[in-house]
Amino acid sequence: MRIVIAGGHGKIALRLAGLLAGRGDEPVALIRNPDHAQDVRDAGAEPVVVDLEKATVTELAEKLMNADAAVFAAGAGPGSGAARKETVDRAAAVLTADAASLSGVRRLVQVSAINVDEPVPEGTDEGWAAYVEAKRAADADLRERHLELDWTILRPGRLTDGPGTGKVALGEDVERAAVTRDDVAAVIVALLDEPGTAGRTLNLVNGETPVAEAVRAVAP
């Protein structure tokens, strides 16, 4: 499969590219900075330079043409302000969904964050509150596209860089906890292989169930 990854130089994206390439798929990494091209090549992906904060929907749709699926894994990052949470975590996600629809790429997995539909507690850091709101809005937009896209929203818990365990808890009612980026990438691969997960919003943390089994369990 040809899989286009928005936010292709991110930590999850690079892991995802390696897994896809390792099994013979063709990952394509959308990157803003051309200096990151070698990193994504080293991970096994084809680098394509496009700025998700500036591109038009037509320009992005051209990058998605002939893909079998897309993954939105972009994020403004913890050091960014509220404005970039809006332009990357929300607007770029909406743009990616628009472009997928325009280019005829129905399958889209969107990486969000656990429990973003819940109210933000009073006194929450402004940057975190902006991040949660941006992810919530992006997810809400995607949920309205059931006629044009076969989407899955994946909401990982607190991300860690430890080695993957291969075991997770995945579902709508999973409680907040940590999950390795390795395991998030593995779950994305399994979701891409399981069309029955389309239309689902799934929380993800480390747990006791093997990845493939956990994904099969949430497919009707």
Which domains does the chain possess?
2-159+198-203 (3.40.50.720)
Q: Would the pLDDT of 46 be above 90?
A: yes
Confidence (pLDDT) at 138: 97
Residue 155 · residue 136 · CB < 8 Å = no
Select the more confidently predicted residue: 124 or 184: 184
Confidence (pLDDT) at 152: 98
Residue 110 · residue 151 · CB < 8 Å = yes
| Percent of the chain residues topping a pLDDT of 90 | 90
Averaged pLDDT, 196-215: 98
Active site residues: 131
Tens of pLDDT along 58-84?
Answer: 999 999 999 999 999 999 877 778 889
Confidence (pLDDT) at 220: 80
pLDDT band at 48 (very low <50, low <70, confident <90, very high): very high
| CA 209 and chain centroid, separation | 21
pLDDT band at 14 (very low <50, low <70, confident <90, very high): very high
Tens of pLDDT along 141-174?
Answer: 999 998 999 999 999 999 999 999 999 999 999 9
* Sign of the torsion formed by the C-alpha atoms of 35, 109, 151 and 107: positive
Confidence (pLDDT) at 29: 98
Confidence (pLDDT) at 22: 98
What is the C-alpha to C-alpha distance for residues 99 and 64, in angstroms, rounded to an integer?
A: 7
The average confidence (pLDDT) of the chain is 95
